[in-house]
Structure 1
Amino acid sequence: MSILDAYDPAREAVLEPSHAAAPVEGFPETVVVTFQPSLTQTAANWPGTRVLVHLPVFFQIPIYAIDYQDKTLGLYQTLLGSAASAGMMEEVIARGARRFILFGSCGSLTRALPDGHLIVPTAARRDEGVSYHYLPPEEDYIPLDTAPRTAQVLTQLGVPFVEGRTWTTDALYRETRRNVARRKAEGCLCVDMECAACAAVCKFRGVEFYQFLYTEDNLGDNFWDPGLLGKLPQDAKEAYFRLALELARRVTP
């Protein structure tokens, strides 16, 4: 037995998200997901922002409804890692979400990209455990069918970005030189910890998943450069947040 044997095509599991989370009347169909608590704290102070419900993950994480221009959007802070982010996403889908915009940092696998540069992932390497419970194991990469739309919006906004594959791994401290080289040879521009899992959950549940990443640290040239890790100023975080909000607004019918 291995993780490759985990996939079961049965649609119903013993424990379903609906057992833990009930639909919420008026829940926004489009939800923005951040890793930055400072951004949800900022949005919580905007006029009209209200708490819809809480996600219980050892502590209570609020899901907000925010008014952005002509749209009402959902917003919450997710946790790091495939298992945590995917499980939280399942409960948000059960409450009524139909599309997600996830944005966060990544480790660049090339020195050609400056710190803070945007990447639109076109596909995610499945080097984590969650996706193998949602999709058959035959394909190593999960394509992000929404990448062209994400790229279109960023182009309209005049924001520079690149497109390419990302490597999703659970093993933060096992990104070895051999595996970095392998992923680079396959066309990966960066490494993250959630994309493949969240894409698999959304594909299985029939909801839309959009993601963009920004480079923070760097693993190119066989050594680690912390780059902007832990140093990103608040105004930069808020600039990425505004891009996510604008993407959410434009993909919401």
Structure 2
Amino acid sequence: MIQKHELPILEYDSNSEEVIRPNHGAEQLKLPEKCVYAFLGDAVDDYAFEAEATVAETFETITRNYPVYIVKQDGMEFCLCAAPLGAPAAAQLMDFLISCGCKKIISTGSCGVLTDLAENEFLIPVKALRDEGTSYHYLPASRYIELNKNIRDAIEHTLLVQNSPFQECVTWTTDGFFRETRDMV
């Protein structure tokens, strides 16, 4: 049911029946349940090549085509896909992955920070300020979104076992990176 608002960006429809299905054109595609959705540029394709991954499908966009890889490693099969920059494009491709069977998706990438941080330290977002429009199509309006605590705990446990340095952080989502003023940041 749609919740109307004076500002269209704050309207939310709890009905999830979409007009165009995310898997249109690939209705028969069945991807593995586990997926790595990485903001790592060419490193994704390089890793897929080294791992002798197969291309299950190619997600076509007007600017670039994104291979959706299947990797078989250590007796496990998982999906691997490069994530496009920008919430609308990233959400569109993620919707496709989910509609084709991916259920356990971890997203990873590199980022900049506003404070000094040791090189190669992992950041685990605990919450994000919602400063873009895409997330408002998926959840009712709110200032922040919090990462599920069970997921955070699993990520932290994995990093502790691997003896990898990490810290929790608060981040923000933005569609106007170069429009962020000092006061907005």
> With structure 2 as the length reference, what TM-score do the two structures score?
0.87
Aligned to 1:166: 171
Does the 8 Å CA contact 2:121/2:164 hold for their aligned counterparts? no
Superposed displacement of residue 18, structure 1: 3.7
CA RMSD of aligned residues (A): 1.8
Superposed displacement of residue 4, structure 1: 4.6
Q: Percent identity of the aligned residues?
A: 34
Q: In structure 2, what is the Cα distance between the partners aligned to 1:97 and 1:23?
A: 14
Superposed displacement of residue 175, structure 1: 1.7
Q: Secondary structure of the equivalent of 1:149? A: helix
Superposed displacement of residue 70, structure 1: 2.6
Amino acid at match of 2:13: D
Aligned to 2:146: 143
In the TM superposition, 1:87-236 aligns within 5 A as 87-111=92-116, 113-137=117-141, 139-145=142-148, 146-180=151-185
Task: Tell me the matched-pair count.
Answer: 177
Superposed displacement of residue 47, structure 1: 5.1
Amino acid at match of 1:136: P
Amino acid at match of 1:132: Y
Q: In structure 2, what is the Cα distance between the partners aligned to 1:12 and 1:52?
A: 26
Q: In structure 1, what is the Cα distance between the partners aligned to 2:176 and 2:51?
A: 40
Amino acid at match of 2:48: A
Equivalent of 1:55 in 56, 59, 65: 59
Superposed displacement of residue 90, structure 1: 0.5
Q: In structure 2, what is the Cα distance between the partners aligned to 1:114 and 1:47?
A: 30
Does the 8 Å CA contact 1:21/1:94 hold for their aligned counterparts? no
**Residue deviations 1:211-234, cap 9 Å, x none?**
xxxxxxxxxxxxxxxxxxxxxxxx
Superposed displacement of residue 31, structure 1: 0.8
Q: In structure 2, what is the Cα distance between the partners aligned to 1:16 and 1:62?
A: 19
Task: Tell which has more relative contact order, 1 or 2 (C-alpha 8 A, sep 6+).
Answer: 1
More helix by share: 1
**Residue deviations 1:118-140, cap 9 Å, x none?**
10011121111011111111x31
Q: In structure 2, what is the Cα distance between the partners aligned to 1:57 and 1:38?
A: 17
Does the 8 Å CA contact 1:3/1:129 hold for their aligned counterparts? no
Equivalent of 1:19 in 24, 45, 48: 24
Amino acid at match of 2:113: S
